[in-house]
Amino acid sequence: MQPLAPALEEILEHLEDLDRRLRLRRVDAGAEDVLLQRSDLAEIYVHIDALISSIRSIDTEFRRYRDRFLHHPAACLCTSPDGIVLEENTAAARLFDLPPDRLRGSSLDVHLHPESLPVFRSMVAALARGEDLRRQEFLLRRTDGGAARVAAAVSALRGPGGALIELIWVFQEIPAGREVGEALRRSEDEYRAIAGGQAELIYRWLPDGTVTFANEAYCRYIGIPCRDLVGRRHAPGLVAKDGARARQSLASLTPDHPVSVTERRVVMPEGGVRWQQWTDTAFFDDEGSVVEYQSVGRDITDARAAREALLLANRKLNLLSEVTRHDILNLLSVLMGYLDLSRAQTDDPELQEYFKKEEEAIQGIQRCMAFTGEYQDVGVASPVWQPLSRIIHEAMAGLDPGDIAVEMEADDLEVYADPLIARVFANLIDNSLRHGGNVSRIRIYPEVSDREIKIIYEDDGIGIPHAEKERLFERGFGRKTGFGLFLAREILSITDISIRETGEPGSGVRFEINIPPGFYRFTGPGRAR
């Protein structure tokens, strides 16, 4: 929950800076600056304004939901998939008898009595597999050495492809002498109360379409009171093409892969069409038959419009950049021709030195123009799921490793990243081939731990000096253009993937590419997504 607002603020800062720069350039443009006077720039300003407005609206809604979470009477925690506390509300701090700064960042299992640890770990593992869970009873450790009995309910927040991102826990203390069943029912009520207050659209339904639960947000959205919806069959009015795709997605759910994320258009009761994104979860019985579905969705009509507007603005900016770059390169070619003519007219050593410096300056401008040609494609296309094996094969296309052995252990890992991610590995491999010294072996493999996934890139060459590691990803640093690793970092950062170099000088390079939860998945049989 916490990273959203800062991320939005950063996006807004970039957009507003771009908006200011474009407007200033338009104001300052002279009569001869034809490119900056084009009418299509006005469309870009409109799209940027619309995008800024949309992001501010999303941020406002997020802050409203977060305030409800913090002040909800039930004890609520947000944790990472492995149980690290990311955020707690006031009631949770009271229940755990800890100040927020001690509770946040700790592992949930350290606050549990030893006898409750097997149940807790089993719940986390089941959620990672996408399984449905009943409410459970735990014993919490008190700071005074005592223990408190609680009933716990947990729901999963999933990202692209159903990957587990966060867990939301709701705890209800069981007073001494009260039956566990009563506490569990109260925990269920608290859970439903929180679901009912969420801004997301939530409803549960049986395979025959009968609705078993719907929150207020969903009922308001479709214009049907909850009392009239629950207990009856309900089928959203999907656009025909999207309806077929949604049914196909539901039919593909299995006990091993019970979650899917789809975007679809719905015909609203008033006749309009809205875009929605839904995370559908299937719950199975012991025989593997679906007993119930849960759908958690949100209206993404404005977000899609903003996304499409941004893509359009990017395309127009790229067109402007391409035309400008083409004109500049043509002028530089003319300038280089005149420079060659000037050089041939004199043997004066001092003038020849000036000509050399002018040529170097022209070449520097040409390299910068080449860089803008590569950079303009970053972030234009939407991120997609890509198998690591395909990424590496694309990276190798056009490269000749010669006698250097390139070893790849792709496993069944897929990464959610910019379509240009293959360029990242192409650059790393090319650097090893050109500048690695005595490289005889390149190895690329995933490194899996309890809390993260890394893709490791290694060679056995000369490595990188410690003094250069901090500047390695700066634009313009390094041999030749120095743009390759800067672009690599920019491409990865689109989906919050980071890269760093951790090798020992003299023993080869070692790049660690860290992929956050929600942006990787395993697709092999029985693997958690």
Please state, rounded to an integer, the average pLDDT across all residues of the chain: 75
Structural domain contains residue 3: no
Residue 341: other Cβ atoms inside 10 A:
9
Helix, strand, or coil here: 455? strand
**Strand ranges, E, within 358-449:** 384-387, 405-408, 413-417, 441-448
Q: Residue 64: pLDDT above 70?
A: no
Cα 450 to Cα 128, 241, 416, 447, distances in angstroms:
12, 40, 19, 10
CA–CA dist 299, 305 (Å, integer): 12
The answer to whether the CB of 190 falls within 8 A of the CB of 91 is no
424 & 514 share domain: yes
Which residues, 6 or more positions from 145, have their beta carbon under 8 angstroms from its beta carbon?
Answer: none
One domain, residues 516 and 426:
yes
Q: Is residue 471 part of a domain?
A: yes
- The DSSP-derived string for 132-184 is ----EEEEEEPTTS-EEEEEEEEEEEE-GGG-EEEEEEEEEE--TT--HHHHH
Whether 117 is in a domain gets the answer: no
* pLDDT classification of 459: cutoffs 50, 70, 90: very high
Please state at what angle helix 484-493 crosses helix 349-375, rounded to 10 degrees.
Answer: 20
Alpha carbon distance 232, 95 (integer Å): 39
Residue 334, judged by CB atoms within 10 A of its CB (0-12, 13-18, 19+), counts as exposed
Whether residue 362 sits in one domain with residue 483: no
Q: How many domains does the chain have?
A: 2
- 210: Cα separation from own chain's centroid: 34
Choose the weakest-confidence range: 129-138, 246-255, 298-307, 402-411.
129-138
In this prediction, residue 375 carries a pLDDT of 54
Range of the domain at 512: 384-522
- Supply 270's token pair: 């008033």
Distance of alpha carbon 202 from alpha carbon 404, whole angstroms: 54
The token duo for 144 is 């005074």
Whether residues 392 and 354 fall in one domain: no
Q: Give 150-177 pLDDT, tens digit per residue.
A: 888 887 777 666 677 888 888 877 766 5
Domain shared by 317 and 364, yes or no? yes
Task: Give the H or E element holding residue 344.
Answer: helix 301-344
Question: In terms of Cα–Cα distance, which of 327, 379, 368, 378 is closest to 36?
Answer: 327
Q: Are residues 494 and 369 part of one domain?
A: no
Structure tokens at 131: 């399984």
% residues pLDDT > 90 (the chain): 8
pLDDT digits (tens, 9 = 90+) for 496-528: 899 999 999 989 999 999 988 778 877 754 444
Residues 350 and 424 reside in one and the same domain: no
Mean per-residue pLDDT for 30-47? 52
Task: Look at residue 35 in the predicted model and tell me its pLDDT.
Answer: 43
Alpha helices in 403-469 (DSSP H): 421-435, 466-469
Please give the DSSP secondary-structure letter assigned to residue 109.
G
HSE-up of residue 510 (Cα within 13 Å, Cβ side) = 10
pLDDT band at 266 (very low <50, low <70, confident <90, very high): confident
Q: Has residue 131 got a pLDDT over 90?
A: no
The pLDDT value recorded for residue 195 is: 47
Same-domain check for residues 435 and 315 = no
The last residue of a domain, from among 359, 376, 393: 376
- Whether residues 514 and 397 share a domain: the answer is yes
Specify the higher pLDDT residue, 418 or 181: 418
Give domain status of residue 348, yes or no.
yes
Which one, of 117, 111, 106, lies nearest residue 143 by Cα? 111
Q: Write out the two tokens for 371.
A: 């860089």
- Quick one: which H or E segment has residue 520? strand 520-522
Residue with tokens 């069943």: 181
Q: Let me know if residue 451 belongs to a domain.
A: yes
CA–chain centroid gap for 522, Å, is: 16
- Cα gap 412→164, rounded to integer Å: 17
Compute the C-alpha angle 197/201/202, nearest 5°: 80
Nearest of 498, 428, 421, 416 to residue 461 by alpha carbon: 428
**Residue 483 shares a structural domain with residue 428:** yes
Global confidence as pTM? 0.45
Tens digit of each residue's pLDDT (9 = 90 or more) over 66-98: 666 677 777 888 888 878 888 888 888 888 888
Instruction: Tell me the C-alpha distance between 513 and 489, whole Å.
Output: 10
Residue-level pLDDT at 428: 92
Backbone angles phi, psi at 101, to 5 degrees: -70, -20
pLDDT digits (tens, 9 = 90+) for 337-392: 877 888 888 888 888 888 788 887 777 676 666 656 655 566 667 788 889 999 99
Share of the chain above pLDDT 70, in %: 69
Nearest to 296 by CA among 229, 206, 215: 215
Least confident of 26-30, 157-161, 487-491: 26-30
Q: Please tell me the least confidently modeled range out of 311-315, 332-336, 443-447, 500-504.
A: 311-315
Residue 322: its pLDDT value, please?
Answer: 63
| Stretch (H or E) spanning 418 | none
- Residue 467, domain member (yes or no): yes
Question: Do residues 276 and 300 touch, judged by C-beta distance below 8 A?
Answer: yes
* Residue 40 in this model has a pLDDT that exceeds 60: no
Is the residue at 179 inside a domain?
no
pLDDT mean over 269-295: 81
Please tell me the predicted confidence (pLDDT) of residue 441.
93
Count Cβ atoms below 10 Å from residue 82 Cβ, excluding itself.
Answer: 18
Most confident segment among 187-201, 233-247, 372-386, 389-403: 389-403
The pLDDT-based confidence of 194 (bands split at 50, 70, 90) is very low
Do 418 and 502 have their domain in common? yes
Nearest-angstrom CA–CA distance, 91 and 94: 5
Q: How far is residue 332 from each of residues 346, 361, 369, measured CA to CA in Å?
A: 22, 10, 11
pLDDT of 410 over the 70 cut: yes
* Six token digits for residue 95: 């229940």
Q: Please say which residue of 349, 376, 403 terminates a domain.
A: 376
Provide the pLDDT confidence category of residue 455 given band limits of 50, 70 and 90.
Answer: very high
pLDDT band at 440 (very low <50, low <70, confident <90, very high): very high
User: Same domain, yes or no, for 366 and 415?
Assistant: no
Which domain CATH number covers 503? 3.30.565.10
In a domain, 481, yes or no: yes
Domain boundary among 351, 376, 401: 376
